[in-house]
């Protein structure tokens, strides 16, 4: 790396690892067990150990994911944000997102979340079809999901994401379009529309369900994407459609920095003093994590990112608008010229369009994104 490297924007990711029930498709670090005492204090102590990563930056976005972080009590959320404000400086226009599930007992907390400072919700609907929700192991109904979204909007959440899956068991194009139409009708600012995948170490990978064919899934995804774009939801990333793109998502896809705290949380940090970029990973087991924090032991592993070009492309090639070569240089510290041979190969395969001020996948490139990204390995 050289003097091209610049300190990027900084976000904060907070992981809350508990759920009422683990879904059969979920490969995230989530546990359907009792909530552990002392987790909020552990998070703040964990953050204390990472404060050197801030490097005098303001926090532009916070994302509280899980698990089901909306299970946290209002007291715990309040204590968390008191502690965060004591340690960090928030950007005036900070985006603060909380993942929430549409269970009725959680909905009553929405107004209190808003008062604490959370200004964006990401609601894990997945489908409005009750049979599909049962298949996915969700604990809410389609009606409860709609009611939760309306309630959230009524208490002031005008920045709201709906998670929506496609490629579900026996799903037809019409059935998926009903889900997409239902989501659009609720007027969220953001819809995450993504394919169900059978991830390793999940119940679905052990007992694979009968899903639509690859060709049918492709057709379903194409129709859903067309409908979302037609209805004013601009696609800015492979699975993200919005009238208001997520700041946290954009920082991630543009290879910005983020501190990760909590059991199993990932981080990515540019260390200007050492002229290096690293990834951090916290202990995955909530019990081990809590015990380690309590005993003042190391909770994090730090790995130097060696293949910066691949790591950057793994993220930024997902952006529908592509990226400016200057972004590559400022985020990696490398001249874009080091990519010359790979970009030429991708162009010759019809996967990439290289312009003076923009590098952007072609339509074929987006369709074969894994192949395109692999060229930069």
**Residue 330 neighbours by CB distance under 10 Å:** 16
Domains identified in the chain and CATH numbers = 10-252 (3.20.20.70), 308-374 (1.10.10.920)
The percentage of residues in the chain with a pLDDT greater than 70, rounded to a whole number, is 92
The answer to whether residue 31 scores a pLDDT higher than 70 is no
* Chain mean pLDDT for the chain: 91
The 10s digit of each residue's pLDDT in 72-82 is 889 999 999 99
Q: Residues 6 or more apart from 27 whose CB is under 8 A from it?
A: 199, 200, 201, 202
Residue positions counted in the chain: 377
**Residue 39 neighbours by CB distance under 10 Å:** 21
Q: pTM for the whole thing?
A: 0.93
pLDDT of residue 163: 96
DSSP letters spanning 10-47:
EEEEEEE-B-SS--TT--SS-B-SPPPTTHHHHHHHHH
The answer to whether residue 191 scores a pLDDT higher than 60 is yes
pLDDT of residue 316: 97
The answer to whether residue 293 scores a pLDDT higher than 60 is yes
The percentage of residues in the chain with a pLDDT greater than 90, rounded to a whole number, is 77
The answer to whether residue 215 scores a pLDDT higher than 70 is yes
The 10s digit of each residue's pLDDT in 350-363 is 999 999 999 999 99
Q: What is the mean pLDDT of residues 268-281?
A: 95
The answer to whether residue 30 scores a pLDDT higher than 70 is no
């Amino acid at each position: 790396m050289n003097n091209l490297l610049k300190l990027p924007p900084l976000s904060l990711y907070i992981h809350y690892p508990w759920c009422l029930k683990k879904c059969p498709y979920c490969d995230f670090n989530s546990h359907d067990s009792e909530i552990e005492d002392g987790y909020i204090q552990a998070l703040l102590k964990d953050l204390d150990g990472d404060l050197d990563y801030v490097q005098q930056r303001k926090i532009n976005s916070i994302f509280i994911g899980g698990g089901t972080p909306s299970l946290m009590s209002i007291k715990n959320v309040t204590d968390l944000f008191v502690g965060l404000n004591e340690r960090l400086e928030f950007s005036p226009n900070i985006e603060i997102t909380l993942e929430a599930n549409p269970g009725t007992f959680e909905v009553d907390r929405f107004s209190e979340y808003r008062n604490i400072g959370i200004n964006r919700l990401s609601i894990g609907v997945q489908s409005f079809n009750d049979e599909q929700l049962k298949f996915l192991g969700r604990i809410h109904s389609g009606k409860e999901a709609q009611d939760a979204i309306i309630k959230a909007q009524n208490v002031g959440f005008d920045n709201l994401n709906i998670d929506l899956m496609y490629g579900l068991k026996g799903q037809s194009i019409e059935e998926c379009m009903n889900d997409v139409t239902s989501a659009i009708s609720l007027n969220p600012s953001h819809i995450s529309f993504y394919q169900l995948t059978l991830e390793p170490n999940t119940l679905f990978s052990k007992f694979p369900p009968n899903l639509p064919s690859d060709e049918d899934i492709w057709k379903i995804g194409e129709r859903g994407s067309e409908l979302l774009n037609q209805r004013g939801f601009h696609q800015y990333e492979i699975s993200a459609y919005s009238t208001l793109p997520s700041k946290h998502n954009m920082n991630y896809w543009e290879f910005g920095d983020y501190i990760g705290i909590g059991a199993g949380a990932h981080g990515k940090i540019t260390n200007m003093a050492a002229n290096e970029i690293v990834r951090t990973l916290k202990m995955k087991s909530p019990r081990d994590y809590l015990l380690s924090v309590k005993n003042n032991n190391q909770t994090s592993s730090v790995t130097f990112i060696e293949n910066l070009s691949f790591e950057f492309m793994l993220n930024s090639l997902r952006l529908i608008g592509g990226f400016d070569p200057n972004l590559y240089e400022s985020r990696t510290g490398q001249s874009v010229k080091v990519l010359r041979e790979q970009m030429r190969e991708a162009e010759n395969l019809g996967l990439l369009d290289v312009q003076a001020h923009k590098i952007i996948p072609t339509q074929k490139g987006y369709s074969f994104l894994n192949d395109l990204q692999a060229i930069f390995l």
